[in-house]
Amino acid sequence: MKQQDKFNSKIGAIAVAAGSAVGLGNIWRFPYILGENGGAAFLLIYILFTILIALPVLIGEFSIGRMASLPVTAAFKKLAPNTKWYFIGLSGVFCAFIILSFYNVVAGWTLYYTYLSIVGDLTDLNQTEISELYHQTASDPATCIFWMILISLGIAYVVARGVQNGIEKYSKVLMPLLLILMIILCVRSITLDNASEGLSFLLNPDFSKLTPDAIFAALGQAFFSLSIGMGAMTTYGSYISKKQNLHSSATAIVIIDFIIAFLAGVMIFPCAFSYGVSPDCGPGLVFVTLPNIFNQMFGGQIMSIMFFLLLVIAALTSSISLFEVLVSFAKTQFGIGRTKAVIISSVLSVAVGIICAISSSTFSLFDNLSANILLPLGAFFIVLFIPIVLGKKRIKAELEANGTTFSLFNVFYFLVKYIVPFAIFLLFIYSIFNWLFI
């Protein structure tokens, strides 16, 4: 079966790419990183980076993938044979591995919270109990490992069976449902006592809080949230039909991804301020705030079950895109079949996942390393690949392959050739300097 045949409809591949983008990055990571980095000012920088840096990278990854019609590792080999550009694919494989290992731990917590909601153990807890529950969960290796392994088995099952059909259905039906549920939760959150303080934290910028670290974290989060800089979107680009308009598809994904992240902020911060949860409390933020909202609403238990379940599915569709990078690499590199590749990738990612489940410092190290170093670095080389190897004509032809003109092509090319690499480089130098001397 050809890759493209795997989709039922033309928007299939786009829905699948949106499924990769929308996940824990939006609902778990975005609020906690924003909370640690001062709130509204971070949000503004995040929006700026998303439009000027992340969007061009996403368009670039889609074009490279579709042009090569191959998953990331093979794509660079095909487009630049006998060169060292192939290392972009290798670094993507490494990065997928690192992200999967902590991502699945968080996905495991989410599955555990779904279970707790179903058996009724999440209702009627007070704020202290909610907070204790999270700390117990995160610091209990047995719980973390058990639920992480369940998640990993789910991923392995879907990927072994040939991925995409199920995800396409999810993205078209369940993602809108997640959106509706989030809007309801946002309404409940902003009508809690003291909610305005939380909204002001999210919307009223205080630029004195914008440290170099915060700026770098905003860039990393923009890459992480859109799944760019490591080849997942290059791989998905290879599934997109030539009739699709790549830049408008990428723009649609950026908008959906942003809306979900923003709503997560609106859902979490008013509630956090209302219940005295510190916005900079780290990776537990979503888990220590949301149960309070469920306690304060009619049908809270049902809402809680539905929300955590949808979040598990959103996390799965993102994990699957990471896993697919490992599996396609193992298949092409070692010439093994899909099932064998899935087994090897699962065993390795569970093994590293166990380390993240046991050691919170490894967990944070991998979280920071992937978003703040590996993804920006990957994106840096991916965008350089465009002017250096492909050139203006080829990339333009790919972007206009569906017969329409891309009126902002020159802006895109300028961003990709100069602004994006320069901005990433500058931010790197800045943060290394900051790290060494301040």
Nearest approach in angstroms of CB 27 to ligand PHE is 8
Q: In the block, which residue shows the tokens 């795997």? A: 6
Structure tokens at 211: 């440290």
Q: Output phi, psi for 412, to 5 deg.
A: -55, -50
47's CB contacts (< 8 A; 6+ apart) are: 258
**Subset of 108-147 contacting ligand PHE (CB under 6 A):** none
What's the closest the beta carbon of residue 181 comes to ligand PHE, in angstroms?
17
Can you tell me which of 46, 224, 307, 406 binds ligand PHE, judged by CB under 6 A?
Answer: 224
Nearest CA among 84, 87, 60 for reference residue 73: 87
Residues 313-332 contacting ligand PHE, CB under 6 A:
318, 321-322
> Is residue 14 a contact residue for ligand PHE (CB under 6 A)?
no
Contact between 175 and ligand PHE by CB under 6 A: the answer reads no
Q: Is residue 218 a contact point for ligand PHE (CB under 6 A)?
A: no
HSE on the CB side for 113, CA within 13 Å?
Answer: 30
Q: How many residues bind ligand PHE (CB under 6 A)?
A: 15
Cβ-Cβ contacts under 8 Å for 99 (sequence gap 6 or more)? 224, 230, 322, 366, 370
Using CB positions, name the residue nearest to ligand PHE.
25
CB-based contacts of 302: which residues, under 8 Å, 6+ apart? none
Asked whether position 420 contacts ligand PHE by CB under 6 A, the answer is no
Q: Does 349 bind ligand PHE (CB under 6 A)?
A: no
DSSP for 115-159? Answer: HHHHHTTTTT--HHHHHHHHHHHHH-HHHHHHHHHHHHHHHHHHH
CB of 249 vs ligand PHE, minimal distance in Å: 16
d(CA 122, CA 116): 6
Q: To the nearest whole angstrom, how small is the minimum distance from the Cβ of residue 20 to ligand PHE?
A: 5
CB of 312 to ligand PHE, least distance (A): 12
- In the region spanning residues 225 to 254, those forming contacts with ligand PHE, defined by CB under 6 A, are 225, 227, 230, 232
- Smallest gap, in angstroms, from Cβ of residue 374 to ligand PHE? 10
20/349 with CB nearer ligand PHE = 20
| Least separation in angstroms between CB 260 and ligand PHE | 9
* Closer CB to ligand PHE, 24 or 342, in the complex: 24
Q: Whole-number minimum distance, CB 366 to ligand PHE, in Å?
A: 12
* Interface pick for ligand PHE out of 7, 13, 15, 20 (rule CB under 6 A): 20
Which element (helix H / strand E) includes 187?
Answer: helix 175-190
- CA–CA gap between residue 407 and residue 332 (Å, rounded): 37
415 lies in the binding site for ligand PHE (CB under 6 A)? no
Q: Is 24 in the site for ligand PHE (CB under 6 A)?
A: yes
Q: Nearer to ligand PHE by C-beta: 36 or 324?
A: 324
**Which of 257, 398 has the CB closer to ligand PHE?**
257
Q: How far is CA 121 from CA 114, 169, 249, 304, in A?
A: 10, 31, 41, 11
The secondary structure of residue 372, as a DSSP letter, is I
Binding flag, residue 35, ligand PHE (CB under 6 A): no
Q: Enter the tokens of residue 111.
A: 């599955």
Q: Which stretch binds ligand PHE (CB under 6 A): 67-75, 86-94, 110-118, 219-227?
A: 219-227
Burial of 128 (0-12, 13-18, 19+ CB in 10 A): exposed
The residues in 62-101 that bind ligand PHE, with binding defined as CB under 6 A, are 99
* The only residue of 23, 31, 89, 237 in contact with ligand PHE, by rule CB under 6 A: 23
Residue 61 vs 398, nearer CB to ligand PHE: 61
378 binds ligand PHE (CB under 6 A): no
25 binds ligand PHE (CB under 6 A): yes
Q: Render the burial of 37-72: b for 16+ CB within 10 Å, e for the rest.
A: bbbbbbbebbeebbeebbbbbbbbbbbbbbbbbbbb
Q: Closer CB to ligand PHE, residue 23 or residue 35?
A: 23
Dist CA 20 CA 320 (whole Å): 8
d(CA 53, CA 5): 32
Region binding ligand PHE by CB under 6 A among candidate stretches 21-29, 162-170, 280-288, 326-334:
21-29
CB of 360 to ligand PHE, least distance (A): 20
178 near ligand PHE (CB under 6 A): no
**Rounded-to-10 torsion of CA 321, 325, 326, 329:** 160
Residues of the shown chain interacting with ligand PHE in the complex, contacts defined by CB under 6 A: 20-21, 23-26, 99, 224-225, 227, 230, 232, 318, 321-322
